[in-house]
Amino acid sequence: MKYQIKQTNELTEKDIEHILKLWDISAWNTMKPAYFRTFFKDSEFHFLLDSHSEIVAIFRLNFDFVLKMSGEQYAFAEAVGLVAAHKKKGYGAQLVQYFKENVAKRNIKTIGFCHADLRPFYEKCDIEILYDKAKAIKENENSEWVNSEDDDILIFHVSQKEKELLNALSSQNNAYLITKE
């Protein structure tokens, strides 16, 4: 198995096709490579490749992620879109380990999110989980602040202060996702 990172502009059309197939999100399935590169311009892609250089797992790092907490803005990289080509083979877990080591080595402040049913996977991967904290993150939808659909915040690499701020989130102490205009 080989670990590889590609910037959006380094992805081949075959890579993009494979990524979209693995993600299997109906709204994105017909996305053309040029639009994909524009849509995910603030991302990098982490891959686990087999001996034939086929993608067996993917994780996207989104650099366009800012949370406003306690009146301050905090920029994080958001780990999102983890998918393995084959379930129960350990590819996802292996990629998570490479990914976690990489963001720590590069000192990239990185968090992710998950639903409660994925907790056992991330616990097994030894990823720190802030249980039931993601719902305290508000996202702007049609000029309205709504709760995130995720349950938990995953800690890949953040400072102690940021971890404490995230852990202090609650229904009375929300964070707000700041999007670029």
Q: How many other C-beta atoms lie within 10 A of the C-beta of residue 127?
A: 21
User: What pLDDT does 90 receive?
Assistant: 96
- Both tokens assigned to 54: 């086929």
Largest Cα–Cα distance of the chain, in whole Å?
A: 51
pLDDT digits (tens, 9 = 90+) for 112-171: 999 999 999 999 999 999 999 999 999 998 889 999 999 999 999 999 999 999 999 999
| Pairing status of strand 128-130 against strand 55-69 | unpaired
On whether the CB atoms of residues 112 and 152 are closer than 8 A, the answer is: no
Q: What is the pTM of this model?
A: 0.94
- Both tokens assigned to 64: 């366009």
- Both tokens assigned to 21: 């197939």
pLDDT digits (tens, 9 = 90+) for 151-165: 999 999 999 999 999
pLDDT digits (tens, 9 = 90+) for 51-70: 999 999 999 999 999 999 99
DSSP state of 79: E
User: What pLDDT does 179 receive?
Assistant: 80
